[in-house]
Amino acid sequence: MTPPRTGRHDRDHIIGVALDLLDRYGLPDLTMRRLATELDVQPSALYWHFDSKQDLLAAVSDRILAGIPDPAPGDDLLGAAHAVRDALLSYRDGAEIVMSSAALRPGNSRAEDALRAVLSPTVPDADLAATAVLQFVLGHTTLVQQRMHGESYGAASSTDTLDGHGRDAAVFEAGIALLSRGADRTPAPR
């Protein structure tokens, strides 16, 4: 559902409408023209708030990641990784948007901050380990979302679920366990 308009379109409202369009149509059909039509403005008006479509997608990525709760004391890597994955899955193509932004905007994100927070008490290079875990979570979640899309269009058939018992959940947990065991042996950056 499109977020209610609160007067003039501001950056926050435009991001909300973009997320709504993302859920309805997916990333390939989230265009500046479609967004402008939804907002009842000319496409050029969007560039008042965003330098480019990639700038808009970066803001959308930040909003998706804002759903990650701060880790509580004693939280483990699996819990933090699940929180990141849940945020990515909360929007259609969420993992793909965040992955694209991570590739084009190197540096820390809310996801890396959450992962680093649970790794830093025990891992020598928590920054490197958090990045490695995030890249695994992004790749895994992208594959899951692609499968979900395929199933929704009848192009794929699978009994895997994210209910905690399916193969996708088992692969996710195995990957995080492997990364967790190796995290304390992360090599020094070159």
104-129 pLDDT, tens digit each: 876 779 999 999 999 998 888 999 99
Task: Kindly report the pTM of this predicted structure.
Answer: 0.85
pLDDT per residue as tens digits for the range 56-87: 999 999 999 999 999 988 899 999 999 999 99
Domain ranges of the chain: 11-50, 72-183
Count of C-beta atoms within a 10 Å radius of residue 39: 19
Domain spanning 72-183: CATH 3.40.50.2000:
no
15-32: b (≥16 Cβ within 10 Å) or e: bbbbbbbbeeeebeebeb
Mean pLDDT over 8-33 rounds to 94
Identical topology for domains 11-50 and 72-183 = no
CATH code of 11-50, in short, is 1.10.10.60
CA distance 183 to 189: 13
Please, which residues have CB within 8 angstroms of residue 164's CB and are 6 or more apart in sequence? none
